[in-house]
Amino acid sequence: MPPTPHTDTDEPNRAADATDAAPADRVTDEDPVDSAALLGSGLQLGYGEGVVVDCEDIVVPEGEVTALVGPNGSGKSTLLKGFSAELDPTGGTVLLDGADVQTREPKQLARELGLLAQENDAPGGLTVGDLVSHGRYPHRGFLDPLDSDDEAHVDRAIDLAGVDHLRDTPLSELSGGQKQLAFVAMALAQDTDVLLLDEPTTYLDLHHQLRVMEVVRTLNEDRDVTVCVVLHDLQQAARFADYLVALDDGQVYDWGPPEDVVTETLLADVFEVDAAVTYDGEPRIVPRRPLD
């Protein structure tokens, strides 16, 4: 029985769930459903016939960094596609600020919810500055030029992502990490309250992995942006996120703060790895061997 976030409803089955969800109760005194930036309920997502994600309730709390973790094929990216309305759920709903993401105008949605996809192909001749200014797309009408407000947001995004010195550099001359920071800046220029990131650190060197995560952290702390990030690296997720959602085979296995979620049992059950997990302020995961 995967623990689901505590809910204060009169429905008996919900109440029963909440009793099981002991870890979630310790997390916060607030009702996580009330403070949810994103709430998926009864969500079924899939491609064609196959169902990839099938989970009862999933919450991305407002103003926090939530990481989706899980092995390959556990449905992390699919869930993100459901959140961003890229994928039409076959069942259930995704509520953003209390309203269904599917019913929003695309531009309206893009003003509230940003998505940094894994796709990184853009014309090589494009400069970082031009790329970032495309982040203002949802704020501009068909004929609107870039106004001073847009310029200010672009400047701020470039500054926050630390790519100021690369502003006039074409993308083809950037390293993978610099490129990713440029795309992060573009997503920042979108100026949304919620930001979804799909494995933003995969394929990056250590330096740029940390840079990207630092930018995300700053964004969350200084501007109160709700972040939901798919991370491959469990240790990284545990370090950076306030909450972890562990997915296993399209279902929520566990939900809560990292120290509650990242356990040796989780690693064995979900990741099929025999590992030692210790905490000294930060989680430390030492994988030993794969389990059959």
Partner 1 sequence: MSRQFRVRDVLLPNLDGALVLTMVASTAAVLLGALVQVRYGAYAMPFETVWRAMFDRAVWTNPQVLATILLGDGLAHTLGVYSDLSVLSDATAVVWTLRLPRVAVAAFVGMNLAVAGAIFQAITRNELASPYILGVSSGAGFAVVVTIVLSLGTYFLPLAAAVGGTGAFLLVYAVAWRGGTTPVRLVLGGVVVGTIFDSLQTGLFYFIDSNGAMRTAVSWLAGSLTGVGWMDVRLVVLPTLLVVPAALVAARQLDVLLLGERRARSLGMRVETMRFGLSALAILATAAAVSVAGLVGFVGLVVPHAVRTAVGSDYRKLLTGCLFAGPALVVVADVVARLGLGGIQVPVGVVTGLVGGPYFLLLLRRTESFNEF
Q: Which of 21, 59, 67, 115 binds partner 1 (CB under 8 A)?
A: 115
What is the Cα–Cα distance from 33 to 6, expressed in whole angstroms? Answer: 8
**114 is a contact residue toward partner 1 (CB under 8 A):** yes
Q: Which of 31, 56, 97, 130 binds partner 1 (CB under 8 A)?
A: 130
**10 is a contact residue toward partner 1 (CB under 8 A):** no
Residue 11 or 105: the one with the smaller Cβ distance to partner 1 is: 105
**176 is a contact residue toward partner 1 (CB under 8 A):** no
**168 is a contact residue toward partner 1 (CB under 8 A):** no
Q: Count other Cβ atoms within 10 Å, centred on residue 161.
A: 28
Amino acid letter, residue 24:
A
Q: Which of 9, 103, 108, 278 binds partner 1 (CB under 8 A)?
A: 108
With contacts defined by CB under 8 A, name the span among 115-123, 206-214, 248-256, 266-274 that binds partner 1. Answer: 115-123
Q: Which of 75, 92, 138, 256 binds partner 1 (CB under 8 A)?
A: 138
Minimum Å distance from CB 199 to partner 1? 13
What is the Cα–Cα distance from 195 to 219, expressed in whole angstroms? Answer: 10
- Sheet containing 91-96: which strands, arranged edge to edge? 50-61, 36-47, 91-96, 99-100
Q: Which of 121, 168, 222, 292 binds partner 1 (CB under 8 A)?
A: 121
Strands (E), the chain: 36-47, 50-61, 65-69, 91-96, 99-100, 113-116, 194-198, 226-230, 243-248, 251-256, 273-280, 282-290
Kindly report the CA angle at 137 between 135 and 142, in degrees rounded to 5? 165
**For binding to partner 1 (CB under 8 A), which residues are involved?**
84, 86, 105-111, 114-115, 117, 119, 121-126, 130-131, 134-135, 137-138, 142-143, 145, 172, 190
